[in-house]
Structure 1
Amino acid sequence: MAAVQPLDPGGFESLLITKKPPTMSNTQGSHPSRRKMAGISTVLTRFAAVGLIATMASCASPQDVAYTRELAKDYENQVFDLERQLAEKNLELSRIQERYAEERKSSIVNSSFDGSLESRLNNLASMIDQRGGEVKDVERFDVEGGYLLMIQDKILFDSGSAALGTSGSQALAEIAAEIAAAPHGEIFVRGHTDSDPVRKPETLRQFPNGNLQLSAERAVSVAAYLIDNSALGGKDVVVMGFGSWRPVKPNTSAESKRLNRRVEIFVSDPES
């Protein structure tokens, strides 16, 4: 057996001092799980190097030791490169997500305000008064540039919920067929609530932003049903949530609050 050659202390230390992987603070922030992964990778690399050197020192030739050291360094460099590539991909993903969030926010803001539509619907309260009698669960009002369907929330949703019930789906199926039967322009789905704040803990967990979020998600549920269960095109549907900020009656009685808890579907005339 060949004589065991003493290891070069400098070579041993240089093998154990690995390249420090790129920290997430230079990319997406110091996420605990990513710091942990980077630390484990470094520890494993050093542990492998120590094991290899200890084994080589006991029975390997100097040539084998040198070759194995090169392999260990090559492995370490590959790990470093992979960690760097992962950090770069995570940074790229973060930028894409931020850009998407900004574009989505801009789209919502730009589509959620139509001054001409607001002016046409400002007289809804007076139209309800002129009609007289009890307001039905689904009422149609003809206005300039189209018509408005006012649907009471009780036939669509359970209290504090944005999930459509059976009666709500049936009502919307008839409404969707009516809309699709004639040429039309854009369709605005507008959610509204009364002024009673969301208080139940289970409802708050689902809608932490209160009535505004509840009204918006109800409008989304109605719009999604219209799009998914009829020939209406999604590009023609605009969703809005107003919370309690667009009442048709003062929130001073149970009946007025009932009228304020509604979803409106405004169907505009087709463009000439």
Structure 2
Amino acid sequence: MKLTFSTPILAFAFFLLAATISSCVVLSPKKYKALLAKQDSLNTGWTESQLTAENLNNTIAKLKRDTADLNGQLADLHARYTEMDGNYAKLRSNSSSAINKLSEDLKKREQRLKEVEEILRKRDEATNQLKEKLQQALLGFTKNGLTVEIKNGKVYVSLMDKLLFPSGSIVIDEKGKQALAQLAKVLKEQPEINIAVEGHTDSQKINNLGQIKDNWDLSVLRSTSVVRFLTEIEKVESVRMTATGKGEFQPLAPNTSAESRSKNRRIEIVLSPKLDELYDLIKQ
């Protein structure tokens, strides 16, 4: 609010001046000087009052501006607080949802892990049972170079070449057929088992074996001879069979002596459980 002053002081000054003028003939110089001094004092007071009023008006205007600024800042802070409060509420809601989802995912993974562990346990149990059955069925051939063992969850039936083939031949002899027939009885009772027949040789070069060019040929032809006997004669399902030749490149012993080389010349029948159930579970 702007400060203003009434004019009594100014009127009084004019009155004194008029009185002085009208009675100048009777005023003494001393009184006249006193009146002039009083007039100067009144003028000075008036000027100071005007300056004070102006300063007060400026102060009031500044206070109004400051109050408006503070009100704006307060409104801005209130808006930011409202926004932050909303964001916090949203974040808390989202966090709860994320935690719940994570908890559900963990439960599903734990359940899937338990199912995988159970499948693997059953696989290991079945593999051990298969090994025992094979050892019992092929017990009479262990002295002729037949072994049964488990490696990496698979059953390996290893037959030295002397148990199956005459030297340098790919034709199975009678002793070999007997061993494979016993093996086939167990395989036909285990339809969930996949069968891979691998042919292996030593590192000696092939000489005078007709169209058999090298150890690759010999290992492949011997493995296919075993597969044909098991499928065509013993009626093991062909869809379960695989024939491969490894040549001389996966030896069991160094090819430095006749005994070591005889260990390397072998047929390995690798039996592995079908893991379709496990694969389907992993894909989920």
Give the TM-score category using the shorter length.
0.3 to 0.5
Q: TM-score, normalised by structure 1?
A: 0.47
* TM-score, normalization by structure 2: 0.45
